[in-house]
Amino acid sequence: MGRVFKGYALFVSSGSFNGSEEIEVQAPALFPDILLNRRSLKSFEKKGEWSQSNPERIKSAMGGALTAGEYLFRVKSKAKNCEMKLLFIDSYLEPAKKISANVAGDTIEISWTPSRQAESFLVGLLPFSGEFPKDLFIISHPDHRGNSFKLRRDLFPRGKYWILVRSNEHLPSNLDVGYMRESWGVSETSIEN
């Protein structure tokens, strides 16, 4: 396997958001995964952050990199409407490399070599004959820190799996609106549970 996927994720957050807002992002070109130049952010977390839903984020993380240019975030709420612009400068996030697993008793420890820019990771297992992203088992928190992850073998079905590690870099990290560069690294060899 050993393939690499380039992609992105979008988010906007505010302490005043309560979940009733409507968020739309307009791109300077087509979003590569949906072939439209607008998309809504439909997933809300209590901390006040709107983002893509998990299935949408998995698809966008492997659907292609964003086009460089200005992105317009529109927030509509009962209180007021506002717009925020963000300039995206295209660059490539190196994926995780040397992805491997060590099976010891009832535990599997997955490890990888991260890129210098990556801030967090998501780890998943894809059945050997499965279809990405539909059949992907997500086994870690979406923003896992560190370059290894342990899990019990009885938490997922017996079989043969590819290991996938998504690298995330939040850009810009000091604003309430932004995007993430993401890339998927895939293990060169499969593991058997």
Contact predicate 120/145, CB 8 Å? yes
The pair of three-digit structure tokens given for residue 162, joined into one six-digit string? 């590819």
Confidence of residue 1 (pLDDT cuts 50, 70, 90): very low
Average pLDDT over residues 109-128: 89
* Residue 125: strand pairing partners: 137, 163
Instruction: Considering the chain, tell me which residue range(s) the CATH 2.60.40.10 domain(s) occupy.
Output: 97-192
CATH of domain 8-88: 2.60.40
- Architecture of 97-192 per CATH? Sandwich (2.60)
- Residue 176 is predicted with a pLDDT of 58
pLDDT by residue (tens digit) across 160-181? 998 989 888 776 544 456 567 7
Tell me the pLDDT of the chain averaged across its residues: 83
